[in-house]
A = this chain, B = another copy of it.
Amino acid sequence: MKKLINQPENSLNEMLLGMTKAYPEYLTRLENTNVLIRQNLDGQKVAVVSGGGSGHEPTHAGYIGKGMLDAAVAGDIFTSPTPDQIYEAIKAVDRGKGVLLVVKNYSGDVMNFDMAKELAEMEGIEIEQVIVNDDVAVEDSTFTAGRRGIAGTVLVHKIAGAAVERGWDLQKVKAVAEKSIKRIHSMGMALSPCTVPSAGKPNFTLAEDEVEIGTGIHGEPGTHREKIKTADELTEELFNKIQADEPIKSGEEVALMVNGMGATPLMELYIVNNKVHDLLKSLGTTIHRTFVGEYMTSLEMAGMSLTVLKLDDELKSLLDDPADTPAFKIIN
């Protein structure tokens, strides 16, 4: 394990310090917590709070700012934050108009946010929660924990944050966030694993000619393993899985995200993007916006995920609204 860190147990704290020092105009740290909140919380608006384990940077705190998040709660690496921390975040950003929690569907995140929600409700804070489950790699069934939330979550932040900036009330913000969740589908793969510093070694190993398909964002193994193929073939495989789950039809309009897992050169993501565009075009689909880059990572894992968001007029215009955060900016 070769990393630019000091003591593994200090990494989270030092990262948060590094973020606040990099972006004083965007965010500040809530004292004695691992919560970063938006600088100059403006207006009497609904607040959007997200969070989860760390190691996914720029997720979550990179999305704090105008048109996205008001607070991000950071857990240890790949570990859900605890209810007390989430509760502090909620209290800090609630401006009397209520708080929307955007939670990724992991047992840990869901349970910790649930407990925080209960604490906040006891204080009389109006609070709603949406659970993002965009990962089509995992069977969605009542016999499982359901689908995971992965990179598509960033688009939910964007949609919810835009709705908030428009002055919508909590129920309306929640409703449009839920609509977007239903329309977001993602699928990922890895070329190499990653190492949690405190564990000291990777969670799985791959041969030089193997890739892992259907991976999540915590360095966990995926649904299966196969021989490496060309970028075009791998892209088509992931895309077909999304397409099988929620067919994309001719005439539909989508937003596309090609997300790098941490160690994948941007060059490779563009090569993948080239192929996905061709696949979408061949279905007669219009691609309204494309996001290529590292939006939700797994430390230094190599690999990528594809996310397709089916737009309607409302989602399209919310997606196009301005956003100004360290890691996601939309300029109109």
Q: Which residues from chain A sit less than 8 Å from chain B, CB to CB?
A: 2-6, 11, 14-19, 21-23, 54-55, 57-58, 62, 77, 191-192, 208-209, 211, 228, 230-232, 234, 258, 262-274, 277, 287, 290-294, 297, 299-300, 302-304, 324, 327, 329, 331
> Which of B17, B208, B265, B274 has a CB less than 8 Å from the CB of A17?
B274
**Given that A18-B274, A55-B265 are known contacts, is A191 also in contact with B2, CB under 8 Å in the complex?**
yes
User: Of all chain B residues, which has the CB nearest A266?
Assistant: B57
Closest to A55 in B: B267
Q: Contact: B271 with A18, CB < 8 Å?
A: yes
Would you call B21 and A277 a contact (CB within 8 A)? yes
Q: Is the CB of B4 within 8 A of A273?
A: no
* Inter-subunit contact A192/B292 (CB<8 Å): no
A65's closest neighbor in chain B, by CB?
B331
Contacts of A15 in B (CB 8 A): 267, 270-271, 274
CA distance A219 to B222 in the complex (A): 31
**Residues of B contacting A258 in the complex (Cβ-Cβ under 8 angstroms):** 22
Known: A21-B290, A292-B18, A294-B294. A4 touches B264 (CB 8 A): yes
User: Can you list 22 contacts pairing A with B, beta carbon distance less than 8 Å?
Assistant: A2-B208, A3-B231, A3-B265, A4-B264, A4-B268, A4-B269, A5-B231, A6-B230, A6-B232, A14-B231, A14-B270, A14-B271, A15-B271, A18-B270, A18-B271, A22-B291, A22-B292, A55-B265, A55-B267, A57-B265, A262-B263, A267-B299
How many chain copies? 2
Of B297, B304, B329, which one neighbours A329 at CB under 8 angstroms? B329
Whether B271 contacts A228 by the Cβ 8 Å rule is: no
Contact A274 B21 (CB under 8 A): yes
B234 close to A4 (CB less than 8 A): yes
* Chain B hits for A264, CB < 8 A: 4, 300
C-alpha gap A211/B265 in the complex (Å): 20
Indicate if the CB atoms of A271 and B22 lie closer than 8 Å. no
What CA separation (Å) do A154 and B261 show in the bound complex?
24
Q: Which residue of B lies closest to A7 (CB)?
A: B230
Which residue from B11, B324, B327 sits with its C-beta under 8 Å from A271? B11
Smallest beta-carbon distance A195→chain B, Å: 10
List the B side residues contacting A3 at CB < 8 Å: 191, 231, 265, 268
A292 to B4, CA, bound (A): 14
CA distance A268 to B18 in the complex (A): 9
B267 touches A265 (CB 8 A): no
Q: Which chain B residue has the least Cβ–Cβ distance from A189?
A: B4
Nearest opposing residue in chain B for A228, CB measure:
B2
Give 11 new A-B contacts, CB below 8 A, not counting A4-B264, A14-B231.
A3-B191, A4-B272, A5-B271, A18-B270, A18-B274, A18-B292, A21-B274, A22-B291, A55-B267, A57-B267, A57-B270
A23 to B293, CA, bound (A): 12
Q: How far is the CB of A53 from chain B (nearest CB, A)?
A: 11
**Shortest CB distance A257–B (Å):** 10
